[in-house]
Amino acid sequence: MRPAVLVTCAAVAALALLCHAPPMAQAEAPHHRSLGLATFLATLAYVTPQILGDAAVASQAAQHTSNWAVIVDTSLFWLNYRHESNALSHYHTAKRLGIPDSNIILMIAHDMACNAKNPYPARVYGDKAHDLNLYDDTVEVDYRGSEVNVENFLRLLIGRHDPASPRSKRLLSDEGSNVFVFLNGHGGDDFVKFQDVQELMGQDLADALQHMHEKGRYNELLLFVESCEAGSMIEKITAPNIVATGSSVKGQSSYSYDNDYLLGMPVSDAFTWRTLKFTERIGPGSKATLPDLFKKMTYDALKSNFTYRTTALRRPLSSMRLTDFLGSATRVAAGAGEAYPLSGRGACGEARAGGGGGGGGGGILSELWSLHATGGI
């Protein structure tokens, strides 16, 4: 039922109760009428936001059909080891919570695992205890090295690729997709650096997100920017249904978390570290909300002021779960009467022994059996 209809029904019900109140003495009637009207208006004011909010949440749930993630490390050089580990940490979190590799675009600017300075070849760690190798054989990097540049990042968001670009390099989201974007690197006032020589400007990012909205490339979008002055990158975003966050405000640095003295540098940034400490305690289907995560981003934890902004959300921020973005909502609907149209066929369409369409029929074997039963064979 539409929200407007729900509110109208509530109003009619309240008026009905008011109009069918028991009769009273003539002298008391005006007083009680005005008291009843005030009660009606107060009740309507109370229930309307709840009805609209619940309806918006239900509407969003119906529209949300898939999840995609774009995870970007923009930095070159060994000294930026932590930026790759940040990206890989978010990559593994997205996979653990249900987003398949086919729906994750991972962009890594520099291969730290194979850097000659790495004392642990083919490994990347996100904590100084070296508990988990983030660069294991399950990692699928879609853009690497010089491919990680401003042009390719913007093309990825708006969907304008070279015709020869493979599927693995395309963001194939649609109007039912919740999209998570993690952008990590060095930055400044209104820019994030790519490859140490290019800059992604805040207005370019805002224009790309607006284009995504106009072309129906997302349902809702969650953006994490982790860089110095990250808040300046989200100020110009106007496209609706976006929650954009920055690890620091304009004029502030964004800091690393802790030093690994064996590697000679930090292996994580503070914002990523706090995010991981939160997400490692939740699983698919968790009810933890974005505000729950945001409350953990204190100045004491980050040594900078975390910031976020929202743009014309269709539902309350308090109803947005982290797993709405870092999770899976893929739905598979079977056609009526035939769950798998190719059931009973081999790879090239030939009849397969022991196959059969099952449940409603389809498949070559089912057709042959039908002909046999009717005397056709």
Residues marked as catalytic? 186, 228
Who's near 346: CB < 8 A, 6+ residues apart?
352
How far apart (Å, rounded) are the C-alpha atoms in residues 153 and 198? 12
3-state SS class at 57 = helix
How far apart (Å, rounded) are the C-alpha atoms in residues 73 and 16? 61
Residue 323 is inside which H or E element, if any? Answer: none
Binning the chain into helix, strand and coil, the percentages to the nearest 5 are 40, 15, 45
CB 226 within 8 A of CB 184: yes
**DSSP labels for 101-146?**
GGGEEEEESS-GGG-TT-SSTT--BSSTT---BSS-TT---SEEGG
CB 296 within 8 A of CB 276: no
Who's near 375: CB < 8 A, 6+ residues apart?
none
Return the closest-CA partner of residue 302 out of 259, 257, 267. Answer: 257
Strand 66-73 versus strand 177-184 pairing type? parallel
**DSSP labels for 180-245?**
EEEEES-EETTEEEETTTEEEEHHHHHHHHHHHHHTT--SEEEEEEESTTGGGGSTT---SSEEEE
Token couple for 201: 């400007």
Burial (Cβ within 10 Å: 0-12, 13-18, ≥19) of residue 26: exposed
CB 190 within 8 A of CB 249: no
